[in-house]
Structure 1
Amino acid sequence: MVYELQKLITSIVLVVLVVLGISKLSNIIFKTEQNVVAYKVDVQEKEVKSDTELQIDLPLFLAKGTVEHGKKVFKKCAACHSINENGKNKIGPALWSVMNRKSGELQDFKYSKALLDYGKQWDFLELNGFLLKPATWIRGNKMGFAGLKDEKDRASVILYLNESSNNPLPLP
């Protein structure tokens, strides 16, 4: 009986050694070191703009839109936002006179911590970036809108929001 047990243990050890040996041998034979065919180029590092720094030619950008088109596109926003003077908050805050208002400033709306901490004034550039991709412009905000990819649509909504105010900002 002891002899049978020794044969079993020896067989198991032998199988393990063979498997490890084959693995090691195949690594030696089929060397997996990759040769990179390229030249190393030294480049100067350039400072990367953050998500909140979008460079555009503002007058040219706004010229793509119209207030009338903005009124039509805003219908996508109307489910969550009111645009009327003295309009009530809905799922999102009322947007009458939003231009030049500090983010998170309406007292009767519960903003996300991200919007409260953001602390910037809504102007043409800020709204353009936010409307392009709200989730990446102000990370952590609660707005569940994917954004307006089309420049004409964004410019038009911004012009419409600017006109929907007691004190519209002068166009650049």
Structure 2
Amino acid sequence: MQDRNNTIAGWVLFAGIIALGSTLVVSEVFHAQEVESCSDDASDGYCPPYVKEASLAAGGEQEAEQPIAFFLASADATRGENVFKKCSACHTVTAGGANKVGPNLYDIMGADIAAKPGFAYSDTLAGLEGNWGWDNMSAWLQSPRGFAPGNKMTFAGLGNPQDRADVMLYLNTLGSGIAVPPPPAMDDAVADAEEASAEGELQLAQDSDTADDLTENAVEGTGSQGGVDVPDAN
């Protein structure tokens, strides 16, 4: 009886080892497929978020973001006002409004950096030159700590470029009114691809017209009775 129990226990242990091994093999296969699907050669373009994050953490490249002018072309000040609610606890936006935890932001677009009177800016921000143009403001809103390391603002930033464009357009309506940059010029490769696509569609249309003409001629025929020519029996 003891030998039988030992035999059963051995088979159970063996089955467990086989199951564990199979799980590891399957996991590696699917993991390899997921990593491959994140490559440039992937046909479906799918990349699981955790794989992408691991790739970025390991030094992988992140897709370049479009210039902010691209998002300004479709920006909406009303949406920007809603997004700005995240900032209203620390900033006022009315003319002559008081500074709070952060400075009053009325007429901020185009103004010099760290130039609002009566607000104690950090040395880091006060030492910067330039103004709050579209690019600078976008970079600041995206990551205040990245734009001016060591500044006092604790807000993590707006990662969505469309949100930043909307907020800036809203701020621009509040006493600023600086010119909105035009959308960036289309990339040459994209332009060439679209031109080739248009030429291909034109060629297909021309081929379709030719095919229709041939079909009409075949149906109408050229015989004296107007029907399809039929070869003589002779």
Letter in 2 for 1:72: N
* Paired residue secondary structure (1:76): coil
Aligned to 2:48: none
> 2:172 aligned with 1:159, yes or no?
no
Report the secondary structure of 1:118's partner residue.
coil
1:101 to 103, 111, 118: 111
1:60 aligns with 2:81: no
How many Å separate the matches in 2 of 1:76 and 1:89?
16
Q: 2:97 aligns with which of 87, 104, 119?
A: 87
Residue identity opposite 1:73 in structure 2: V
Closer, same or farther: CA 88–103 of 1 in aligned 2, 3 Å: same
Aligned residue runs from structure 1 range 9-88, under 5 A: 56-88=66-98
- CA displacement, residues 118-152 of structure 1 (integer Å, 9 cap, x when unaligned): 12200110011010111011111110000001121
Higher mean alpha-carbon deviation, 94-103 vs 57-66, is at: 57-66
Structure having the higher helix fraction is 2
Please give the secondary structure, in 2, of the residue aligned with 1:59. helix
2:125 aligned with 1:115: yes
1:170 is aligned to 2:179:
yes
Gaps of 5+ in 1: 1-53
Contact 2:83 2:163 in 1 (8 A): yes
Partner AA of 1:129 in structure 2: A
Contact 1:64–1:151, Cα closer than 8 Å, also in 2: no
Pair 1:142 & 2:155 matched: no
Report the Cα distance in structure 1 between the residues aligned to 2:132 and 2:122, rounded to whole angstroms: 16
Would the aligned equivalents of 2:68 and 2:138 in 1 still touch at CA under 8 Å? Answer: no
In the TM superposition, residue 76 of structure 1 has moved relative to its aligned partner by 0.4
Using the TM superposition, give the Cα deviation of residue 57 of structure 1 relative to its aligned residue in structure 2, in angstroms: 3.1
Hey, what's the Cα distance between the residues in 1 that align with 2:68 and 2:161? Answer: 11
Give me the CA root mean square deviation: 1.6
Aligned residue number for residue 208 of structure 2: none
Rounded to whole Å, the distance in 2 between the matches of 1:57 and 1:152 is 11
TM-score (norm 1): 0.65
The answer to which structure, 1 or 2, has the higher relative contact order (CA under 8 A, 6+ apart) is: 1
Superposition deviation, residue 56 in structure 1 = 4.4
Note the C-alpha offset of 1:86: 1.1
Identity rate, percent:
36
The answer (yes or no) to whether the contact 2:68–2:161 under 8 Å persists in 1 is no
TM-score, length-scaled by structure 2: 0.48
Moved over 2 A (4+): 54-59
